[in-house]
Amino acid sequence: MMSSANAGREGGSDVSVAPSVSYSITVRLDVPSRGRAVSELTHVVEQAGGAVTALDVAPFGHERLRVDVTCAARDTDHAEAIVAALSAIAGVSLSKVSDRTFLLHLGGKIETQSKVPLRNRDDLSMAYTPGVARVALAIAAHPEDVRRLTIKRNSVAVVTDGSAVLGLGNIGPYAALPVMEGKAALFKRFAGIDAWPVCLDTQDTDEIVRTVQVIAPAFGGINLEDISAPRCFEVERRPPRPARHPGLPRRPARNGDCGAGRADQRPAGGGQEAELSPDRHGRRGRRGDRRAQAADRLGRHGRGGLRRPGRGAHRAGPASTTACGGSPSIRIPPATAAICGGRCAGGTCSSGCPRRTS
């Protein structure tokens, strides 16, 4: 934002910046208790080019009033000029000046809250030890359930190295933190996504990529933010994590054809899951995958969730006409293949399979 001191000229006329809430201040003043004392304050602010947005008046001592004047300025210098003009009024005593933008950032803008109540010992025993150990063991046995049983499916890491923050340039990870907090707040407010800033004290491409890889298990998406070019393109080009990352959820096949006769086999092309930044790729091709995952879970025995035979079994899309081995096959809808788990030989349902279609 340009300041009033640096206002340029366009077409031979002065160009000034209007007061902005970004430079909003609250000035606390003690004034005499007389007829026009308060109106004189607002008049001085307007004469100085500010915009009064709020006025709070309360009695203070004998024949005195305490007045909080909230006004918007053009920049920091303009705000100081307004304060000086108010202080120069006869009989007015300046108490303190607060910058509303800095007040909003005190202690940070985001926090972690529990989604479940912890009211007694029973709640604590289920949310934490010893009950949580059962969930941990279930995920260890079936890593694909991590999205269903943890915050992973709704969590995003907002990653930056502080090298290209807004229009401020390379200001480093500490100065980038309030900006990343704001981005995380936007995720929560407008998308209901739990995001957390991850400000890295490195600008080495390999270290950034490796850091993203090792923190990936806790997040469903990685948002690369305010990383300078050309490093940002190199970081984005690399895979978000190693192909054999432990605990990586498998993606069910989109149809009945599966190279190894498994409906939950990893896709071709290195076996990596396409789990990228939600603001760029997160909504691409996900709905079918989620339905197939849900169908696969509902058809498993003893892996959590309610087993509801028949639900999702007949949501048939385009039927598969060839088996994995190339032999003639029965036409198997994708949802059916996902529910049976691809356990039938050759990718086709055998005569004993309850999901066999004719």
CA distance 46 to 64: 23
Residue in this structure with the two tokens 């990653």, named with its chain if needed: 159
CB 56 within 8 A of CB 67: yes
Q: Is 152 a catalytic residue?
A: no
User: Is 183 marked active-site?
Assistant: yes
- The answer to whether 38 touches 57, Cβ cutoff 8 Å, is yes
Please spell the DSSP secondary structure of 241-294, one letter per residue: S-TT-TTPPPPPPSSS--TTS-TTPPPTTTS------TTTTTTSS-HHHHHHHH
- 3-class secondary structure for 20-72? EEEEEEEEEEEEECCCCHHHHHHHHHHHCCCEEEEEEEEECCCCEEEEEEEEE
CA distance 252 to 342: 10
Catalytic residue among 152, 174, 183, 188: 183
HSE of 70, CA atoms in CB hemisphere, 13 A = 12
CA 232 – CA 322 distance, rounded (Å): 43
Active-site hit among 109, 128, 174, 188: 128
Tokens 């260890």 belong to residue: 140
Residues serving a catalytic function are: 128, 183
